[in-house]
Structure 1
């Protein structure tokens, strides 16, 4: 009888211990779940606060830009995020200066109703994801709501400098003046980043624009015989003055770069390198340093084009 009671007592103690452990495990699990829930809530609150702070900062910047635009544009302000669509309206109407004509949606008319007293309605178009920007003039308000109609491809301009960036320009273009006149007649604005590159942004309406092609001076003798080798093995050679800016070497490389079909253009971040002794030259500051000051003042100098690593 006593043996049975001992076994029952041990079994009871074992069951009690198991239930206590199970209860403790449940309490620990519940505590962990509550802590996880609080942590998630805290992260959500922090994310919400960060979003609100970012929105407030963006609103402050937008308000500052709005105030500046209102003052600069004499009470006219328009800023919207629109979806770009192809527009051939200017081409179909036979407009010569059509390459930078844009169509806005009808809702923009109210915001721009007072723009007529400012002259031609020119505005900036930018891509927030890349930072790329150009300028355009208003064609009409015929775009669908939420969209801006753009064709395929400001200060009043007084001077623009054009730099050839492909060797075929020198080989194929015989009349540079005629080419520039033909291209400019199809535009009302120019922006850095367009095919033809002027000062940051200018209007071409009712103005005599002085144009200059930035061709490097050619020496028949003396100076520095500069040879630049491209990755494909081709070379571009030019004789320059020792006091010519190092920038001239970069211009020579760009003008001598031959783009084969299907290949990428010369990356803007390319560098020039001399081998003996090895020296690497970057574009930044090159306009303020002469060839001689950069150690390239000898009778003959050779450089290699180095492309940026991916």
Structure 2
């Protein structure tokens, strides 16, 4: 059967599409293989870089170790000894039985340590001292009692235990491994001590020098930060070693040590508490003073605001006043003299048909000696008559009646009327406008 032109075109189109799909799959596969290869190369480069960094760190550590070794050998005049040993308490009877002095801070090392040190002629450097460091990083120094500890162990006296684990430490705290290193120490020149309790100076008194010298005779070396146990009168006093010269660890054998006693830790804590309390009181006082200043400023601002409001009211009243009649005016007038509580006087002519409230407006325009509108009354002396201002809170009928009250109807028709200002609270028992209009009190 012969194929038509259309069938050939469709077949060709399918072949082209299948070819494109194959090409796309091949491209995606190649891209995936490229990405996998790049990731593998990156991982390999990272491993190589990590290995290189480890080698560099190891080389640096080895170089640092060589440098420290050289420094230690030089500082120790050719002697080098380091070991990691298990700490155990030392029996106190060993030094006592042998009559050894300065045994309070001397340790026992194993025979292998003695062999290593003797082979380096360490004894030629004088008394042997060792730096001890526990797992917490606490560090102290100690002298040597003898090489009789079990192999792998170091035996510590109570003073060394307290220096490594705290002044209240017991034999139970003496656990774990210690780094022990030989150290040649300079002779001490000056030491600064600080009692733990304030009772040390109080109980020892003037004999501090003798008591301290007796305690130091039981030790061979001192380390900055250590605790020194000082016995006296059946009590034990702990003194912290605050400072040493010429270095942070010194020998106290055959040396004239200058000692200084600082105020006790207990006293410093009390002084610090008193200072903190005084600081709190000062801060509270400062806050109270700031609050008082803020309150005074707020009050002053309120007063200034009130003054400006009153001044604005006074000016408004002054601007609203009608013109004063001239002395030769034809309309009947009353001359009124107002005596203010502050001693000032003000006078003005008013037409007799003027509302009584106009007198109050005039007084308000002059400041009314600081009294607010509506808070004072006008009073004549002989006969006594009391005139009240119009009240905004009064009822409509009462307010209308007050507005209709004129100088003539109020009886202020004399050629010269003298009126006084009185505050409202002074007039609670006085007759009102109706009584005033009647002409007397």
State TM-score, norm by structure 1: 0.57
1:107 alignment counterpart:
112
1:1-310 aligned at under 5 Å gives the runs 1-2=7-8, 3-70=10-77, 75=78, 77-94=79-96, 97-113=102-118, 114-126=121-133, 130=137, 132-152=138-158, 153=162, 154-157=185-188, 160-170=191-201, 176=208, 179-180=211-212, 183-196=215-228, 197=241, 199=244, 200-206=248-254, 211-214=259-262, 251=263, 255-257=267-269
After TM superposition, give the deviation of residue 128 of structure 1 in Å. Answer: 9.0
> CA separation of 1:189/1:91 partners in 2, compared to 1, >3 Å: closer, same or farther?
farther
Bigger relative CO (Cα 8 Å, ≥ 6 apart): 1
After TM superposition, give the deviation of residue 162 of structure 1 in Å. Answer: 2.8
Over residues 49-82 of structure 1, what are the superposed CA-to-partner deviations in whole Å (9 max), with x where a residue is unaligned?
2331342133123213312322xxxx4x133142
- Tell me how far apart the structure 2 counterparts of residues 155 and 213 of structure 1 sit (CA, whole Å): 22
After TM superposition, give the deviation of residue 85 of structure 1 in Å. Answer: 0.4
- Tell me how far apart the structure 2 counterparts of residues 29 and 161 of structure 1 sit (CA, whole Å): 69
Q: Which runs of 5+ in 2 are unaligned?
A: 1-6, 163-184, 229-240, 284-441
- CA RMSD between the two structures: 3.8
- Tell me how far apart the structure 1 counterparts of residues 279 and 265 of structure 2 sit (CA, whole Å): 14
Q: Give 3-state SS (helix, strand or coil) of 2:111's partner.
A: coil
- Tell me how far apart the structure 1 counterparts of residues 265 and 91 of structure 2 sit (CA, whole Å): 40
Q: Give 3-state SS (helix, strand or coil) of 1:112's partner.
A: helix
Q: Give 3-state SS (helix, strand or coil) of 1:163's partner.
A: strand
> CA separation of 1:201/1:23 partners in 2, compared to 1, >3 Å: closer, same or farther?
closer
- Tell me how far apart the structure 2 counterparts of residues 106 and 203 of structure 1 sit (CA, whole Å): 24
- Tell me how far apart the structure 1 counterparts of residues 278 and 65 of structure 2 sit (CA, whole Å): 43
Greater fraction helix:
2
2:346 alignment counterpart:
none
> CA separation of 1:92/1:110 partners in 2, compared to 1, >3 Å: closer, same or farther?
closer
After TM superposition, give the deviation of residue 21 of structure 1 in Å. Answer: 0.9
- Tell me how far apart the structure 2 counterparts of residues 17 and 210 of structure 1 sit (CA, whole Å): 91
> CA separation of 1:86/1:78 partners in 2, compared to 1, >3 Å: closer, same or farther?
same
* Larger Rg, first or second structure (1 or 2): 2
The 8 Å contact of residues 87 and 103 in structure 1, kept in 2 or not, is answered as no
Over residues 193-236 of structure 1, what are the superposed CA-to-partner deviations in whole Å (9 max), with x where a residue is unaligned?
2113263444344566564534xxxxxxxxxxxxxxxxxxxxxx
After TM superposition, give the deviation of residue 92 of structure 1 in Å. Answer: 4.6
**Aligned positions, number:** 225
State TM-score, norm by structure 2: 0.42
1:286 alignment counterpart:
none
- Tell me how far apart the structure 2 counterparts of residues 7 and 82 of structure 1 sit (CA, whole Å): 81
The 8 Å contact of residues 84 and 150 in structure 1, kept in 2 or not, is answered as no
The 8 Å contact of residues 90 and 108 in structure 2, kept in 1 or not, is answered as no
